[in-house]
Amino acid sequence: MLLTATLLISCPDQKGLIAQITSFLKDNNGNILSLDQYVEASDNRFFMRLRWDLQGFAIDRKEIGQSFHYLIASKCQMQFSLYFSDEKPKMAIFVSKYSHCLFDLLSRVQSGEWNVEVPVVVSNHEDLRTVAEIYGLDFKYFPITEATKLDQELKQMELLQDLKVDFVVLARYMQVLSNQFVMNFPCRLINIHHSFLPAFKGSKPYHSAYERGVKIIGATGHYVTADLDEGPIIEQDVTRVEQNDSIHDLVRKGQDLEKLVLARSVYYHLQRRILVHGNKVINFKS
């Protein structure tokens, strides 16, 4: 397996940036595997994703970050993060009663499609304990009432910290998380909303879509922020509604979309192909 490094970069745009960054690679015998860059016109900000082969790279992997910071980043007001392909992130999954997204995520983990570890499945209901357990995973039940909510969230956060969880996937978790919880996981809390946002925010989007008579329904994978259903959108997809489709059919078609869009959102996150800028996601192609 090829060992690679990935740099995600963000800084004010200026002439010569790409030359500087790629010269850093060249000067250290790095072979670029992919490079994608983007300039946000509205505020003249530069974004880049760079992936290179570590074999033969002149700088020891432990020193790359420091070296890059000293030689490049510090001179350009640059923020960057650095990842290595042999790191295996830890993903917690939050669910309630719907099983379709959980089944889909776990089968991808189990089959080796994704390089990720799932230390725990968390739920406010007992219903999906079996699903987690047939996959050999730890299942933690946190019943939630209005009165216990904040307290239970504190325990959930403690658990996630203990397990060194890197990011959390809300796989149709039917509780609105408190701002405090959300603040603890900036750009590390992925939710699937069962509509084509910004259409049909809030609860019961399939019912609203049916009522409105739309000809297409959608699903949206996004990072969670303090504003409900307003976070940066990672991925969306849609499917067509037929005249004879009942609300039950919309739910059935929609659940297939939810699985697909959530899986793609998690995949992009795992691949480090995403940067968040303001309330928007920059999606790198490669």
Contact status: 3 vs a second copy (CB under 8 A): no
> Helix or strand or coil: residue 196?
coil
Q: In the bound complex, what is the minimum distance in angstroms from residue 259's beta carbon to a second copy?
A: 9
Strands (E), the chain: 4-12, 31-40, 45-53, 79-84, 91-95, 121-123, 139-141, 167-170, 189-193, 216-223, 233-240, 274-277, 280-283
* Beta-ladder partners of 281: 276
Q: Does 85 bind a second copy (CB under 8 A)?
A: no
Q: Residue 75: which of 23, 26, 5 has the closest Cα?
A: 23
Residue among 3, 23, 141, 155 that touches a second copy (CB under 8 A): 23
The one catalytic residue among 13, 86, 166, 229: 229
Residue 176 is encoded by which pair of tokens?
Answer: 């609105």
CA distance 97 to 149: 18
Minimal distance, residue 246 CB to a second copy, in Å: 7
Q: Closest separation between CB of residue 63 and a second copy, Å? A: 20
- Binders in 243-262 for a second copy, by CB under 8 A: 243-244, 246, 252, 255-256, 260
Min. distance of Cβ 85 from a second copy in angstroms?
Answer: 14
Determine how many CB atoms are found less than 10 A away from the CB of residue 138. 14
The question of whether 166 is a catalytic residue gets the answer no
Q: How far is the CB of 183 from a second copy (least distance, A)?
A: 21
Q: Which of 145, 285 has the CB closer to a second copy?
A: 285
Query: Which value, to the nearest 10 degrees, does the dihedral of the CA atoms of residues 47, 196, 108, 181 take?
Result: 70
| Coil/strand/helix, residue 243 | coil
User: How many whole angstroms separate alpha carbon 203 and alpha carbon 211?
Assistant: 14
Could you give the CA distance from residue 233 to residue 223 in angstroms, rounded to a whole number? Answer: 7
Residue closer to a second copy, measured from CB, 185 or 196 = 196
Q: Which is nearer to a second copy, 31 or 77 (CB)?
A: 31
With the C-alpha atoms ordered 106, 109, 112, 117, is the resulting torsion angle positive or negative?
Answer: negative
- Rule CB under 8 A: choose which of 68, 94, 173, 200 binds a second copy: 200
- Residue from 3, 12, 32, 81 that binds a second copy (CB under 8 A)? 32
What positions carry a catalytic annotation?
229
Q: Which residues bind a second copy (CB under 8 A)?
A: 15-16, 18-20, 22-23, 25-26, 29-39, 41, 99-100, 103-104, 107, 110-111, 113, 131, 134-135, 196-200, 212-216, 218, 232-233, 235-238, 240, 242-244, 246, 252, 255-256, 260, 263, 279-286
